[in-house]
Structure 1
């Protein structure tokens, strides 16, 4: 299976290679295609270009852009949108909207790895509007309800 990657040279900034860092890596690292360092202040979001566009193997695949765990834990920089979704028909540049959730300004260097791309299969479904849903043990229990006993009357213990 092949992921087609188009390198976008803008303002003379060549994009870094898209690569798995180890044999067991699930995600392809995406790097900042910037010509000079950027500072992200606390509470600020900056859209970081990666200098690439992709063509997924087909409509049965999705590209998911995740934060890099080291950048998040050490630098307090995460993705502002949680997880980015790249649809199979999108051909534009991939960006990483980095959010500084820390208390100090953080710096992004040219070529620094800022996110990771995971390509996964998806299942497209047919939507059916119904008036009733099937029963389940969990029922309507949400937010923190799993692992707790739900009595038949709906009371949680």
Structure 2
């Protein structure tokens, strides 16, 4: 087996679909939500208050900044899926074109990178989550089975003069460095 998808064990009996290509020439595999999920609008809580204060030269309190920062964080929407691939490949997670246009949803980092050694890591079995921010005015309710993003298998190249890397992944998000 060269590359593909599996359902992580905690979702084994949940009736999830493996990622799929919607048309025969589609490059990306559509990922669906594993559960119902509410993605809150960034315009909630003290975010508007802090923007107003900053715009008018006022000093925002630490409490207001902390509350606003909580709203501006991306949310990790579970897919229940893990991906296996060759050692010289990665899975790029990209936004669906309809997310920003119809639902005001974006991937905050533009794309996600799933390394080959993320598969079956001991922390979360390599489950892929899609990071999303909701720039809309209202919360977005995502239903189990709704398409969130797309994954594309990609090769990568290493530099000629790269020092030998001997570190082994031991966890999930952020486990390969700070």
Do they superpose with TM above 0.5?
yes
Gaps of 5+ in 2: 43-70, 120-125, 163-178
Q: How many residues of Structure 1 are paired with residues of Structure 2 in the alignment?
A: 125
1:90 partnered with 2:118: yes
Where has structure 1 moved over 6 Å in runs of 4 or more?
Answer: none
1:64-111 per-residue CA deviation (whole Å, 9 max, x = no partner) reads 000111122110111122211011211110100111012221110111
1:117 partnered with 2:151: yes
- For 1:3, the equivalent position in structure 2 comes to 3
TM-score by length of 1: 0.72
Structure 1 residue matching 2:144: 3-state secondary structure: coil
Higher helix proportion (structure 1 or 2)? 2
1:50 partnered with 2:84: no
Gaps of 5+ in 1: 129-157
Decide which structure has the larger Cα Rg and report it: 1
Higher relative contact order (CA 8 A, sep 6+): 2
Structure 2 residue matching 1:71: 3-state secondary structure: helix
For 2:100 and 2:161, the matched residues in 1 are separated by: 36
* Superposition CA RMSD, Å: 1.9
TM-score by length of 2: 0.64
